[in-house]
Amino acid sequence: MAHAVISCLHANLAALEAVLSDIDQRGIKTITCLGDLVGYGPHPNEVVNLVRERGIPSCQGCWDEDIIEGLNACECSYPSQLAERRGHRAHQWTAEQLNDDNKAFLASLPMVLRRDRLVFVHGSPNSQHEYLLPDMDAFAALERVQTADADILFCGHTHRPYVRELRDGVIRVRVQTPMGSQPAAERETAWPVRRIVNAGSVGEPRHGNTHATYVIHDEATGNVEIREVPYDVERTCRAIVEVGLPPVFAWRLRHGFEYAERADDASHVCER
């Protein structure tokens, strides 16, 4: 059975409609959302409403959490003070626009969704704010999958889709304890193949193209397809400016990457 995984919708209704249409055309009935339904974009209520109407199971993203609980991440969320100011403005605007019913819905979202050996999170099993980048330390990546007790860990948050297969993982250790003159014990641990699948971003792609991205996973074959979906970018850009959000958010959508706003320490885990 094929299922679709979407993430980081970011209140971009035009992009979400295009992605859902693409999924529907492929006859896929099971969709999972990895959070960040709101933030940056001009249609927070409309996007939440559509996700609810479609009954799409979602986990909570960092923006969804922040809108409900107030900004609570440390400075790790933003790579610069300018980015932080813009982010705070978007947060304030979104919090004002979002109705109570939709806020309650976002508050109800779980951190983790699980279907058998498939686990779905926004950032990582540790935190909605942690980035699992494609080239991160492979053992750290494997640790995240193992911690989640998963065969495949689906995540988002980076806005860049990828599939990473981790294989032939082996660690040999020498263990010494204060037990007289006994020699150190040696042991070896090996792990089976594990995968991390990043679904990219529907509403704010940052992979160098303006197309919305998501993934389709075929459980029968194990194949993961990264989908790119064109949508009416200008419709969203116009709305961003009309509602008074920072114009740079529209500029980013037109270019498909986040100008000078890549997190400095992507492996940092926000402790707050």
Partner 1 sequence: MARWALVSGLQGDLALYEAIQRDLRQLGRVDTLFVLGDLIGPDRDANALLDRLQDPRRGELAPQCIYGWWEDQLLAERGYRGERRAELLRQQFGQAAVEALELAVDPGHLAWLAALQFGFIELDCALLHGSSADVGDCLGAESSPLLLLDRLTRMDVNRLFTARSGEQFCVELAGGGIASTVRDLAGERQLQQVVPQRKVIGIGSGLRYSLYDPGSDRIAFRSVGQQPGSRGRGFA
Question: Which residue lies nearer to partner 1 by CB, 95 or 226?
Answer: 226
Residue from the set 226, 248, 266, 270 that interacts with partner 1 by CB under 8 A:
226
Stretch that binds partner 1, among 13-21, 97-105, 133-141, 243-251 (CB under 8 A): 133-141
Question: How do 30-33 and 113-115 pair as beta strands?
Answer: unpaired
d(CA 165, CA 202): 23
d(CA 12, CA 205): 11
For the bound state, the minimum distance from the C-beta of residue 173 to partner 1, rounded and expressed in Å, comes to 5
Q: Tell me which amino acid residue 220 is.
A: A
d(CA 53, CA 237): 25
- The site that binds partner 1 (CB under 8 A) totals a number of residues, namely 45
- In contact, 154 and 32? CB cutoff 8 Å: yes
- What is residue 108's DSSP assignment? H
Residue from the set 135, 220, 242, 260 that interacts with partner 1 by CB under 8 A:
135
Stretch that binds partner 1, among 40-48, 59-67, 107-115, 206-214 (CB under 8 A): 206-214
Question: Which residue lies nearer to partner 1 by CB, 133 or 253?
Answer: 133
CA 20 to chain centre: 17
Q: 49 is written with which tokens?
A: 């409403």
For the bound state, the minimum distance from the C-beta of residue 103 to partner 1, rounded and expressed in Å, comes to 20
Stretch that binds partner 1, among 23-31, 48-56, 132-140, 240-248 (CB under 8 A): 132-140
Question: How do 224-229 and 212-218 pair as beta strands?
Answer: antiparallel
Question: Which residue lies nearer to partner 1 by CB, 219 or 228?
Answer: 228
- What is residue 182's DSSP assignment? P
For the bound state, the minimum distance from the C-beta of residue 126 to partner 1, rounded and expressed in Å, comes to 8
Q: Tell me which amino acid residue 51 is.
A: V
Q: Does 209 bind partner 1 (CB under 8 A)?
A: yes
CA 96 to chain centre: 24
Residue 187: what are its φ and ψ, rounded to 5°?
A: -145, 160
- What is residue 184's DSSP assignment? P
Binding mask 144-183 for partner 1 (x = CB under 8 A): --x-------------xxxxxxxxxxxxxxxxxxx-xx--
Q: Does 139 bind partner 1 (CB under 8 A)?
A: yes
Q: Does 221 bind partner 1 (CB under 8 A)?
A: no
- In contact, 144 and 188? CB cutoff 8 Å: no
- What is residue 155's DSSP assignment? E
Residue from the set 82, 107, 138, 241 that interacts with partner 1 by CB under 8 A:
138
For the bound state, the minimum distance from the C-beta of residue 224 to partner 1, rounded and expressed in Å, comes to 8
Q: Does 266 bind partner 1 (CB under 8 A)?
A: no
CA atoms within 13 A on the CB side of 230: 0
Find the binding residues for partner 1 in span 28-87 (CB under 8 A).
none
Contacts with partner 1 by CB under 8 A lie at 126, 134-135, 137-143, 146, 160-178, 180-181, 184, 186, 188-189, 191, 207-209, 213, 226, 228, 267, 269
